[in-house]
């Protein structure tokens, strides 16, 4: 095949978060204890990001991430900046992550104490630095706008900062609109929204929690799709925005067991995303033929390489599953990636850096064997 230039998503892509080096995790802890200043932490972050960018380029990736090295987690940093000091606290939540052995990890909820407002760029500075050190396409990620409500329900929102959910949603959409504009001004052309709620409604245990809160989960899904669409529609011209769909990923544990078919109409048709990063690394994601519901004007990045285990996938298995998917979505609208990030939260990993990059290298090599380019 002849390689042709592509715009995001790329044939070989990635979800975004990468393993933080141990010395960087240590430095962030020192900063919290005021043993080093902010300038020293930034210097160490810059150095670590330069190194991880060079590694991504050497592998052959076209979308380049800063690994989310300046963040504590994929969620908290964004909303903490939007609520300001003392505006966000963590409490015991209703959900948990689980594994096949029945072991569980509790999931906290984030409670809002101040209105959500955009006062200055949140991740635009991160993007500007990333763009300055790579000639390839810098990729930035943001959490889904619905995640705070999903994790904590109305109690987490209407604790004092708000008296109505309508006011909260309006403020959230405005925060994203402003941040998207700031990211675009900083040079962002490729943005990923990490959507970790909608597909989970296919799991009966998740729906039961929502109903115990007093919410009608069907109406809630309608609201969630409307909010995400309002955010997606605010993206400036020239910024490509995709959705990463996740069922939970913490130290190999997961939150929901649900295929896509249950939510296909809302997720694939009503949601105004141009493309999706979809997990297909385990039976919990359901059969791949759910892609038959994907509209013909949308692209799918197949998350076939798991970040929940260090074991390296068989390349022929990956090629076979991509061909299976092509029975429902044409090859020119398919790409390949890991199923999730490698470290959505600091310390959230089940492998080392060498195993991580072996996974990413496998994605690139498999994509080249299928499409002739990355």
- From 49, 19, 8, 12, select the one nearest 360 (Cα to Cα): 12
Q: Which of 303, 297, 318 is nearest to 194 (CA)?
A: 303
Assign a CATH topology to domain 71-371: TIM Barrel (3.20.20)
Rounded CA-CA distance 133/142 in Å is: 21
Q: In sequence order, what are the residues at sequence separation of 6 or more whose Cβ sits closer than 8 angstroms to the Cβ of residue 357?
A: 55, 59
Q: Which DSSP helix (H) or strand (E) runs through 300? A: strand 299-305
pLDDT of residue 3: 43
Half-sphere exposure of 39 (CA within 13 A, CB side): 0
Pairing between β-strand 334-338 and β-strand 240-245 as defined by DSSP bridges:
unpaired
pLDDT for position 189: 97
CA distance linking residue 14 with residue 57, whole number of Å:
12
Q: What is the CA radius of gyration of the chain?
A: 20
Q: What is the pLDDT at residue 227?
A: 98
pLDDT of residue 4: 44
Q: Which of 318, 320, 282, 306 is nearest to 359 (CA)?
A: 306
**Phi, psi for 106 (deg, rounded to 5):** -60, 145
Query: Hey, is 142 helix, strand or coil?
Result: strand
Low-confidence ranges of the chain (pLDDT < 50): 1-4
DSSP characters over 52-74: HHHHHHHHT-SEE--TTTT-SBT
Q: How far apart are CA 322 and CA 204, in angstroms?
A: 29
Q: Does this model's pTM top 0.85? A: yes
Query: Is it true that the peptide bond before 9 is cis, omega within 30 degrees of 0?
Result: yes
Alpha-carbon distance 53 to 63, whole Å?
10
Report how far residue 44's alpha carbon sits from residue 178's, in angstroms, rounded to the nearest whole number.
Answer: 29
d(CA 359, CA 149): 33
- Residue 279: predicted pLDDT: 95
The residue to which tokens 């949603």 are assigned? 169
Q: What's the pLDDT at 1? A: 36
Could you give the angle at the alpha carbon of 291 between the alpha carbons of 288 and 295, nearest 5°? 170
Residue carrying the six token digits 């230039």 = 5
Alpha-helical (H) ranges within 104-216 are 124-132, 147-157, 165-185, 204-212
Residue 74 and residue 248: Cα distance in Å, rounded?
12
Query: What pLDDT does 347 receive?
Result: 66
Q: Specify the 3-state DSSP secondary structure of 338.
A: strand
The structure tokens listed for 70 are 């300046």
The SS3 of residue 143 is: strand
Domain locations in the chain as residue ranges = 71-371
Both tokens of residue 55?
Answer: 């590694």
User: What's the pLDDT at 6?
Assistant: 73
Q: DSSP for 194-251?
A: EE-SGGGGGSHHHHHHHHHTT--HHHHHHHHHHHHHHHHTTPPTT-EEEEEE-S--BT
Whole-Å CA distances, 145 to 36, 173, 177, 273:
33, 7, 11, 14
């Amino acid at each position: 095949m002849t390689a042709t230039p592509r715009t995001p998503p790329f044939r070989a892509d990635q979800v975004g978060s990468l393993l933080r080096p141990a010395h960087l995790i240590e430095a962030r802890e020192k900063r919290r204890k005021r043993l080093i200043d902010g300038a020293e932490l930034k210097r160490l972050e810059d150095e670590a990001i330069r190194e991880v960018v060079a590694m991504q380029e050497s592998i052959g990736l076209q979308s380049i991430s800063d690994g989310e090295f300046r963040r504590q987690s994929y969620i908290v940093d964004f909303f903490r900046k939007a609520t300001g000091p003392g505006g966000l606290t963590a409490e015991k939540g209703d959900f948990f992550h689980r594994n096949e052995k029945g072991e569980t990890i509790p999931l906290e909820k984030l409670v809002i104490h101040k209105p959500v407002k955009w006062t200055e760029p949140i991740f635009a500075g991160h993007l500007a630095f990333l763009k300055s050190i790579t000639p390839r396409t810098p990729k930035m990620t943001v959490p889904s706008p619905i995640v705070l409500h999903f994790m904590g329900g109305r109690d987490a929102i209407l604790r004092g900062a708000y008296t109505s959910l309508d006011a909260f949603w309006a403020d959230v959409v405005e925060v994203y609109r402003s941040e998207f504009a700031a990211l675009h001004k900083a040079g962002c052309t490729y943005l990923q929204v990490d959507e970790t709620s909608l597909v989970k409604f296919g799991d009966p245990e998740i729906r039961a929690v929502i109903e115990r809160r007093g919410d009608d989960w069907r109406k809630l899904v309608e609201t969630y799709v409307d909010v995400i669409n309002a955010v997606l529609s605010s993206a400036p011209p020239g910024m490509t925005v995709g959705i990463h769909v996740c069922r939970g990923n913490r130290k190999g544990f997961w939150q929901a067991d649900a295929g896509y078919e249950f939510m296909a109409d809302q997720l694939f048709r009503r949601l105004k995303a141009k493309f999706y990063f979809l997990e297909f690394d385990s039976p919990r994601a359901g059969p791949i033929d759910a892609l038959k519901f994907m509209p013909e004007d949308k692209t799918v990045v197949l998350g076939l390489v798991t970040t929940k285990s260090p074991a390296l996938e068989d390349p022929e298995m990956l090629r076979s599953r991509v061909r299976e998917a092509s029975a429902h979505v044409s090859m020119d609208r398919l790409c390949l990636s890991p199923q999730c990030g490698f470290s959505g939260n600091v310390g959230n990993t089940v492998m080392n850096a060498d195993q991580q990059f072996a996974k990413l290298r496998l994605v690139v090599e498999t994509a080249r064997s299928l499409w002739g380019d990355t």
